[in-house]
Amino acid sequence: MRARLPLRLARSAVFTVVCVALAVLGHRVAGGTGPEWWAVGAGGGAVTVLTTLVAGRERSPLTITLFLVGTQAGLHQLLGASAGGSALNLHLAHGDGLGADIGMLVAHLTATLITGWWLARGESALWSVLRRVGALAVHGLRRVLALLSGGPAGGPYGRAPRPPRHLRPLPARRELRDSVRRRGPPLPFAC
């Protein structure tokens, strides 16, 4: 399933808001000075353009997280440069010393991984809903077209009569997507 421009822009806007807000919040919490408005605008614009280009279809959680890590690194450099540093400075932290650098890096990666997981779950839910709505729309359109053409709604030979409710087979159970199966008796009875 491919996304048309309105859906691409909506997905891009959500990703941009989350990504830029995460970068600005991380910058403020880390003790950095507030980024300049032009840096936030430029970073948001760049993230929007890049995200719109890659938002044409559903992306995997790994792709989303890696893209978020890359955009966070770019935004970190841009926001750091707007606070008086150099954009070419690849220093990872605002503090002094290796301990501050590692702490900053761990904080950035932790926040980015959690946010990437959250965005990937939203992406999965969005595409699941879109597939369901699309299937319902196609089914409804087929029924309307069959009724308009004067043919039976069930197909070329009509719909077979349904058996009484008590004779119908039970619907197939849908397994949970993330279910865990374990073999054997419950632990209290196993001993």
Which DSSP string corresponds to 23-75?
A: HHHHHHHTTPPPPPHHHHHHHHHHHHHHHHHHTTB---HHHHHHHHHHHHHHH
So what's the pLDDT on residue 181? 66
Whole-prediction pTM value? 0.63
What are the pLDDT digits (tens) for 71-124? Answer: 988 998 888 888 765 444 445 444 544 455 677 778 778 888 999 999 999 989
Helices marked H in the chain — which ranges?
Answer: 5-29, 37-54, 61-82, 98-148, 187-190
Which of the two residues, 67 and 2, has the higher pLDDT score? 67
Convert the pLDDT of each residue in 134-145 to its tens digit.
889 988 898 888
Classify burial at 56, counting beta carbons within 10 Å of its beta carbon; exposed 0-12, middle 13-18, buried 19 or more.
middle
Q: Give the per-residue pLDDT at 79.
A: 84
**Residue closest to 31 by CA, chosen among 80, 88, 90:** 80
- Under DSSP, is residue 2 helix (H, G, I), strand (E, B) or coil? strand
Is 65 a residue whose pLDDT tops 70? yes
Q: What is the mean pLDDT of the chain?
A: 79
Is the separation of the CB atoms in 92 and 105 below 8 Å?
yes
CA distance 93 to 45: 24
